[in-house]
Amino acid sequence: MIVAAILLLAATALAPLLISRLPLGHGRLTNIAAAMIAPAILGLVAILGLVADPADGAGVVVIYCLTLAAAVTGGTLMVRAALLLGGIEPWQLDTPPPADPPADPAPVPTPLRGGRVIGYLERIVVVAALSLQWPEAIAIVLAVKGLGRYPELREPGAAEQFIIGTLASVLWAAATAGTAYLLLH
């Protein structure tokens, strides 16, 4: 049963990557529905973690690696869905691609640049902190993130985007770490 859980955990990590490649359009409901696939699979993994024998040996390493991958890949969809549910338009989500893209398109300015990479790093730290049973590290990361973003939070819509995105990102990372815990204990 642990093998099935590991395969589903791999599917949780890969599903967001595959979903992002599909031509789903830019509608709100489509993006929210797509974002619910990874949590649904993760829920199945958690159920298997409750009934399966704990992993050991190489399975432990595989579970930790897949947990980090699922936290990083799934977090972007979770944040986008949370922003849409909160009434905030993620900067690229509802903008259809231009018919004839310019040769060198200028980047669209956003209130919070670099958020995706910061989110990846944040989710890695959250999973690592919970796996190492050091939840205080999450508070440190969130404090550093807040201080680093403080000057940008005065721009219109930036504070709401920051709060909703951060909470969605951290909750997703904690859910993946919790699922790994169920598989390992």
To 5 degrees, how large is the angle CA 66–CA 72–CA 76?
A: 140
Residue with tokens 């993620």: 90
Model pLDDT, residue 153 = 82
Please report which confidence band the pLDDT of residue 120 belongs to, taking 50, 70 and 90 as the band edges.
very high
Classified as helix, coil or strand, 95 is coil
Residue with tokens 């974002």: 35
The yes-or-no verdict on residue 92 having pLDDT over 50 is: no
Instruction: Check if the beta carbon of residue 177 is closer than 8 Å to that of residue 71.
Output: yes
- Report the percentage of the chain scoring pLDDT > 90: 42
In the structure encoding, which two tokens stand for residue 158, read together?
Answer: 């930036």
The yes-or-no verdict on residue 93 having pLDDT over 50 is: no
The yes-or-no verdict on residue 114 having pLDDT over 90 is: no
How far are the Cα atoms of 74, 96, 108, 117, 126 from residue 169, in angstroms, in the given order?
Answer: 9, 25, 23, 12, 9
Model pLDDT, residue 124 = 95
Query: In sequence order, what are the residues at sequence separation of 6 or more whose Cβ sits closer than 8 angstroms to the Cβ of residue 87?
Result: none
Q: Which of 16-25, 49-58, 101-110 has the highest mean pLDDT?
A: 49-58
The yes-or-no verdict on residue 112 having pLDDT over 60 is: yes
Please report which confidence band the pLDDT of residue 105 belongs to, taking 50, 70 and 90 as the band edges.
low
Model pLDDT, residue 116 = 83
Q: Tell me: the pLDDT tens digits for 29-59?
A: 777 777 888 899 999 999 998 988 888 888 8
The yes-or-no verdict on residue 148 having pLDDT over 70 is: yes
Predicted structure pTM score = 0.83
138-171 burial: b if 16+ Cβ within 10 Å, else e: beebbeebeeebeebeeeeebeebbebbbebbbe
Q: Where are the alpha helices (DSSP H) in 22-135?
A: 28-35, 37-51, 58-85, 115-131
